[in-house]
Amino acid sequence: MSNDYSRAREFRESHEGAEVELAYTGKQTFLKGDPRNVDDLQDIDVAVLGAPLDTAASNRPGARYGPEAVRKASTWWAYLSGYKSGLTNMNTRAQVDYDDLKIADCGDIPVFPQDQKQSADSITAHVATAAEQAFPVLIGGDHYCTYPSFCGFAEAIDADNVGLVQIDAHSDTSDGSPVFGDHFHGSSTRLIAESEYSDYEHISQIGIRGYEAPGFFEFAEETGLNLYTMRDIQAQGIRNVVTEAIQNASEDTDAVYVTFDIDSVDPSTAPGTGTPEPGGLNSHQALTIMEILGTHEAVGAADLMEVAPNYDPTQSTQTLAAYLLVTLVERQFAE
């Protein structure tokens, strides 16, 4: 039999659908992007990394499983785009083809559950390496991971000042805890504001609700924190809030980092998270936030944190989380 003959090749060549990779088959990377080493991204638009670490969480653990769950959920959009040779986004009315998006999945960053500092140093180093070559997207992990990721991005672009847009139920401005210390998921924004790369005047928070420290509104006014609570969203509308938030975060900065904590979404929609808080964003509002931020030229990096899939047997949380990131990178690179 000729070496050139293959029944498998013959079948594939004669059946068009044989080349379609279903969502649940083949690569389970983000949007079925090419697996790449973080040092090999010169031809890449978006570099995705996972941070499977939740040792800084103060409530329910499980966000360590977030990166895997969000990646798997994202494969649905890759399948649709590949099968249909492009898509029409019915929310934005845009024509989208993910073949135009050069995306790589760099896998999970090495983390050390018993060594918070070493884990943070690892996140900083890997995000910095990715950011030197592409638009970095980090999937967490608890929200503490945002602090070292933010620093890695700022270092990579040699920034003097980086703004932050934080979509979250909680402000994460704690000045420390006698139980969890100074570095935990409730202190990441404070650490960013006190770092050499930012300050409260260039931080915008969207969706804050529940309870904060005594005198928090006075704290926000004194520090210049751009605070948009759920009540503000209800009064002003989500588009007005997001437009003003990104304007404040980007003014006089070199770039803006976006961090989306999935607990900003109401737990009736996204229950798979460590610290659920009633009265949050609905899915339409959440997607609108990413639609707007995805078109802003100042946005240079993003993360999505606190998906704890084991608390959501419906898998709705990771599906929404994936859609939020897909929306952001689509608006940036695939329209």
Give CA separation, 331 vs 269, 281, 327, in Å.
24, 21, 6
Average pLDDT over residues 28-43: 96
How many angstroms separate the CA atoms of 281 and 167, rounded?
Answer: 10
Find the mean pLDDT for residues 154-172. 97
Average pLDDT for the chain: 93
Q: Is 170 annotated as a binding residue?
A: yes
Asked, for residue 2, whether it belongs to a domain, the answer is no
Q: What is the pLDDT of residue 2?
A: 55
Long-range CB pairs of 78-83, under 8 A, 24+ apart, other chains included: 78/21, 78/23, 78/31, 78/32, 79/20, 79/21, 79/22, 79/23, 79/32, 82/20, 82/21, 82/32, 83/20
Structural contact between residues 333 and 134, judged by C-beta atoms closer than 8 angstroms: no
Contact in structure between 259 and 185 (CB atoms under 8 Å): no
263 annotated ligand binder: yes
Tell whether 185 is in a known binding site.
Answer: no
Q: Assess contact for 335 and 95: CB atoms under 8 A.
A: yes
Note whether residue 68 is domain-resident.
yes
The structure tokens listed for 221 are 């006014």
pLDDT per position as a tens digit, 268-304: 999 999 999 999 999 999 999 999 999 999 999 999 9
Question: Does the residue 7 lie in any domain?
Answer: no
Least confident of 81-95, 101-115, 160-174, 236-250: 81-95
User: Which 8-state DSSP code applies to residue 161?
Assistant: -
Give the number of other CB atoms < 10 A from CB of residue 62: 20
Does the residue 4 lie in any domain? no
pLDDT above 80 for 179: no
CATH number at residue 149: 3.40.800.10
Give the domain extent around 58: 21-334
- Burial of 191-224, coded b for 16+ CB within 10 Å and e otherwise, reads bbbeeebbbbbbbbbbbbbbebeeeeeebbeebe
Is 287 among the domain residues? yes
Query: Does residue 49 contact residue 106 with C-beta atoms inside 8 Å?
Result: yes
Domain contains 71: yes
- CB atoms under 10 Å from CB of 6, counted, come to 12
Closest CA to 163 of 55, 90, 70, 250: 250
- CB atoms inside a 10 Å sphere around CB 26: 13
Least confident span in 13-17, 49-53, 127-131: 13-17
Q: Choose among 183, 168, 122: nearest CA to 274.
A: 168
**CA 137 to chain centroid:** 6
Residue 181: what pLDDT?
66
Quote the CA–CA distance of 181 and 173 in Å, as a whole number.
Answer: 13
Residue 168 labelled as part of a binding site: yes
Looking at the structure of the chain, the number of domains it has is 1
Please check whether residue 9 lies inside any domain of the structure: no
The H-assigned helical ranges of the chain are 7-14, 66-84, 116-131, 146-156, 188-193, 216-223, 230-236, 238-250, 283-294, 316-329
Q: What is the pLDDT of residue 5?
A: 78
66: nearest Cα among 256, 261, 206, 208: 261
Confidence tier at 328 by pLDDT (50, 70, 90): very high
Lowest mean pLDDT of 10-14, 196-200, 233-237, name the range: 10-14
- Residue-wise pLDDT for 51-73, tens only, equals 999 987 878 999 999 999 999 99
Q: What residues are paired with 138 via a beta bridge?
A: 49, 303
Does residue 93 form part of some domain? yes
Question: Binding site annotation covers 199?
Answer: no
Pairing type for strands 226-229 and 95-96 reads unpaired
- Please report how many Cα atoms fall inside a 13 Å half-sphere around the Cα of residue 176, on the Cβ side: 3
For the stretch 293-317, what's the b/e string if a residue is b when 16 or more beta carbons lie within 10 angstroms of its beta carbon? bbebebbbbbbbbbbbbebbeeebb
